[in-house]
Amino acid sequence: MEIKICIGSACHLKGSYDVIKKCQNYIKEHNLSDTIELKSAFCLGRCSEAVSVQVNATEIFSISPETAEGFMKLMHQRTEL
């Protein structure tokens, strides 16, 4: 699974840095580096719903540093399906 976190202007202001840190920590804690690849991206075109996160180059989610961990849990479950 590929997860792309937007680091464009709007998302950066809404906390891309913290979102990335939280996602990286989750991956580390659950040993998921082989199944989930974390990347960054410039503007995903959903600036008004920052922070935008794209999964497998299709679905775009709107998450925040507070919801990042929950989002990762959801993605974690998906990889196990």
Partner 1 sequence: MEGMPHYIDISSHSLNKYGEELCGDKVEVVKGNKRTIVVLADGLGSGVKANILATLTSKIMITMLEHGADLKETIDTITNTLPICNVRKIGYSTFSILDIDDCLNARIIEYDNPPAFIVRDGELISPEKSMIRSGDKNVWVTEFELKLNDEITLCSDGVIHAGVGVMLNHGWEWEHVGSFIAEQEISSADKLNRRLLETCNRLYDGRPGDDATVVTMRVRKPEIAQILTGPPDHKAKDTITIKNFMNQSGRKIVCGGTAANILSRELDREIVTDIEYIDPFIPPTAKIKGIDLVTEGVLTLKMALTKLQSINECCEEPIFNKKDGVTKLLKLLIEESTHVHFWVGRAINPAHQNPDFPKDLSIKINIIRDIEKELKKMGKFVQIFYTD
Smallest distance from partner 1 to CB 17, Å:
5
Smallest distance from partner 1 to CB 20, Å:
6
Smallest distance from partner 1 to CB 57, Å:
13
Q: Which is nearer to partner 1, 47 or 67 (CB)?
A: 47
Burial of residue 58, with CB atoms counted within 10 A of its CB: 0-12 exposed, 13-18 middle, 19 or more buried: exposed
Q: Which is nearer to partner 1, 26 or 81 (CB)?
A: 26
* Exposure class string for 8-39: b at 16+ Cβ within 10 A, else e: bebbeebbbeebbebbeebbeeeebeeebebe
Q: Which is nearer to partner 1, 9 or 79 (CB)?
A: 9
